[in-house]
Structure 1
Amino acid sequence: MLFPILLLSAAGFTVLTTEFVIVGLLPAIARDLNVSVSQAGLLVTLFAFTVAAFGPFLTAYFARFPRKRLFISILIMFGVANTVAALAPNIWVMAFARLIPALGLPVFWALASETAVDIVGPEYAGRAIEKIGFGIVCATVFGIPVGTLVSDMFGWRTAFAILAVVALAKAFLLFIYLPVTTPKHDQVSLRSQFKILRNPLMQGHILLSILVFSGMFTAYTYLADILERLAGFDGTLVGWCLMGFGAVGLIGNSLGGRAVDRHPLIASMVFCGFMIAGMVALVPAIHSTIGLAAAMAVWGVTQAAMFLVSHVRLMKAAPHAPAFAASLNIAGANLGIGLGAMVGGHVIDTLGLGSLGFAASGFILASILLALGLMTAKPTAATA
């Protein structure tokens, strides 16, 4: 039963790379389309806000559809969108190209996660989603930095063209090898799923995801720009730095998968505490090879862990509707990503790149305090 999960993980790599590859391409896109880096950063916000606005509704609706056909359709849509991005003549066409896949990402991520949990059972949810999460982490290990390296050598448009081809190839592989499955949670009505939103504990968990991802992407959205302008690295070296940042994320993905099965909120607080240390130390250590590597390693491990911890935390809070709960995390996370990109752009324009780590850490500290508050609530409240 492992092979279908690995197929979904490989497809998830393409899906998440499409969202996050732009992080390493922002400086090049800004130069080519004649906009500022902070304006190009709004492409991140557009994608994220679209996911946040439509993700839960689309997931709840498409949860009843056969998984194989749905996943293949989403990957074809990603192939088309990346083709449009590769040909975009201006920022407006580029924005349209980012809007299309934003509609499919939350559906794929939530339902792929639910499918993985169905295969192994809820008691191993963290480990199952760790396999799906491996594709997500590989998107940061290989997708984002390789995209940056390709952009530096051949132009950012080539990076999107390659993503288009890969998405269509993955759709073909799913068509051949993914078994036909039927939804196991189709008995849960739309009304029943949306009742989750009335639960105060679930609202707190969603807010926690918003805060965590706002903090992460206040700084991470502009990491390539930090390395270019403050460290003085060229595009190739930036790509290798992002590769290292993602590579240590493999450790975080493994640690997160095990920690979240023990206690999701404690896992969240511990990883967030270390994340603050990494973010705050980055700029002061920017001209020290060892110091910069250490700060990026701590940040990379904890960021990858929090992708997984946040996702499983919501699914465990609503086991009767895990796909919808996962979509709520995806919506909250992307709302945070969009807010973080906006806040980060504002911080750059007003306080400078060097202040991003402190602004980001403010969100993360708030998430730790909220997690402490959620721990005082009854564990069963979310499933009431």
Structure 2
Amino acid sequence: MPIALWALTLGAFGIGTTEFVIMGLLPEVAGDLGVSIPTAGHLISGYAAGVVVGAPLLAIAGSRLPRRTMLLALLALFTVANAVSAVAPGYEALLGARVLAGLPHGAFLGIGSVVAADMVAGHRRGQAVARVLLGLTLANVVGVPLGALMGQQIGWRWAFAAVAVIGAVSLVALRLALPEQPRPAPIPVRAELRVFRRPQVLLAFAVVVFGFGGSFAAYGYISPMLTEVTGLQGMAVTLVLALYGAGMTVGAIAGGRLADRAPMPTLWLFTAALAVLLALFTVTVASPILAPVTFFLIGATGFIAVTSLQTMILDRAKEAPGLAAAGIHSAFNIANAMGATLGGAAISAGFGLASPSMVGALLSAVGLGLALLMGMPARRAAVVPDPVTEVEPVPAAEAALEPARA
């Protein structure tokens, strides 16, 4: 794998740390700002909302810029937003900063995935994409636990300040290690958006939203679950967060290889396993031994399925790879926002701190059903015409570009 891939991994590490570190700091943030834990959970949803809005808009806005330039600009915005989070004077200001920090997330990971896939031979594309996603998983092994520990010991603001430093280091590393990228071939926005009329692409995004909304429902409230239900405190909670990240890392590495060999069966098997494990966690969360083991498996199975989906979407949307890859991160963060919101609603309704895990199991079961629908035999898919392949009038200005696209 090219060395530049590690620079992209480092950038993903910073982004993954800021996305997930709040989940280990909810009790501290809620107590310091004088809000309830479900209200503090909106800081998760706010970041996710920034990703959902920013991913497609920034991917379109940067579609005519060299990809290296766009990646550096996105990481600069991310760094500034996290510095603002560290000095936010109150809940509303922190929420706004979280939204701002989420804006570059999807576009960076989406464009980074395209750049990574273009660096390697076709049969290794899944592994290259997994290498970028490895930054997210390593964030959960190292960045999130250390950030949570820092927040618990010296204050949650220092965790966001550390993330800003990670962003600055990532920016320098990308500037030095990532070679110049050719300017993308100019494709009209209308032509890119037509990709999203494909039933298979839409189904893949729906699998992301429901299948992995389940993981986020449980993960969003893991800190209060571990402290209040499992009975763990301090360093023990930090170690469980690291164990979850280790599971994600195992899943990302294994998922890259499985996605290259059998993406659809991999998606079915591990989405089903995710639903079962989330349901099981509602029982094992009461055990200081079984809870960490189950949570490790949840992280591993979820990320194996994630890599398969990412590769399939890139294959089904080759005409607009940057927008499609950014779109999948928007879908993941719709899942994040939905999981956090529904998990918080279950707690507020009096179902207990462990209830978000059962909410997650139900969401992942819906995702499995959508994945099965997505994998229907090709003969059935042939009955439904693909809107993107239909012949449409091509304006003269666009027609002139066709040889370049070929």
Shorter-chain-normalised TM-score: which range? Answer: over 0.9
Residue of structure 2 equivalent to 1:286? 285
Q: Deviations over 1:99-145 (max 9, x none)?
A: 21211111101100000011114432211111111111111111211
Residue type at the aligned position of 2:281: L
Q: Give the whole-Å Cα distance in 2 for the aligned partners of 1:107 and 1:97.
A: 18
Match of 2:299 in 1: 300
Indicate whether 1:232 and 2:234 are aligned: no
CA separation of 1:219/1:358 partners in 2, compared to 1, >3 Å: closer, same or farther? same
2: distance between equivalents of 1:382 and 1:118?
Answer: 27
Aligned position for 2:396: none
Task: Determine the structure 2 residue equivalent to 1:211.
Answer: 210
TM-score, with length taken from structure 1: 0.95
Q: Which moved more, 1:373-382 or 1:147-156?
A: 373-382
Give the equivalent residue in structure 2 for 1:275: 274
Give distance in 1, aligned partners of 2:322 and 2:133.
Answer: 15
1:277-309, Cα deviation, whole Å (9 max, x unpaired): 221222322343442233122112112223323
8 Å contact 1:61–1:190 — kept in the other structure? no
Q: Quick check: 1:160 aligned with 2:160?
A: yes
1:55 paired residue number: 55
Q: TM-score, normalised by structure 2?
A: 0.90
**Matched residue type, 1:230:** V
Gaps of 5+ in 1: none
Separation (CA, whole Å) in 1 of partners of 2:156 and 2:225? 19
Q: Give aligned pairs, total.
A: 383
Q: Kindly indicate whether the alpha-carbon contact (under 8 Å) linking 2:247 and 2:298 is maintained by their aligned counterparts in 1.
A: no
C-alpha separation between the residues in 1 aligned to 2:296 and 2:54?
Answer: 34
Which deviates further from its counterpart, 14-23 or 339-348? 14-23
The answer as to 2:241 corresponding to 1:242 is yes
> Is 2:100 the partner of 1:118?
no
Cα 1:382–1:306 shift into 2, 3 Å: farther
Which residue of the partner structure matches residue 106 of structure 1?
106
Q: CA RMSD in A?
A: 1.8
The 1-side partners of 2:214 and 2:247 are apart by 19
Q: Which moved more, 1:201-210 or 1:2-11?
A: 201-210
- 2:222 maps to 223
How big is the shift at 1:377? 5.3
CA shift digits 1:7-30 (9 cap, x unpaired): 111111101211121111111111
SS in 2 for 1:353: coil
Preserved contact between residue 63 and residue 111 of structure 1 (Cα < 8 Å) = no
Q: Tell me if the contact between 1:12 and 1:109 (Cα under 8 Å) persists in the aligned partners.
A: yes
Q: CA deviation at 1:383?
A: 6.8
**Per the alignment, do residues 10 and 261 of structure 1 end up closer, same or farther by CA in structure 2, a change over 3 Å counting?**
same
Matches within 5 A, 1:190-205: 190-205=189-204
CA–CA separation in structure 1 for the residues paired with 2:54 and 2:174? 25
Matched, 1:364 2:361: no
- The answer on whether the counterparts of 2:230 and 2:285 sit within 8 Å (CA) in structure 1 is yes
Contact 1:279 1:299 survives alignment (8 Å): yes
Q: Percent identity?
A: 29
Q: C-alpha distance in 2, partners of 1:254/1:176?
A: 26
Residue 150 of structure 2 aligns with which residue? 150
Per the alignment, do residues 288 and 352 of structure 1 end up closer, same or farther by CA in structure 2, a change over 3 Å counting? Answer: closer
Q: Does 1:130 align with 2:122?
A: no
Question: Kindly tell me: are residues 208 and 129 of structure 1, through their superposed partners in 2, closer, same or farther at Cα, counting changes over 3 Å?
Answer: same
AA of the residue aligned to 1:263 = A
Residue 344 of structure 1 corresponds to: 343
Amino acid of the structure 2 residue aligned with 1:139: A
Which one is further off, 59-68 or 36-45? 59-68
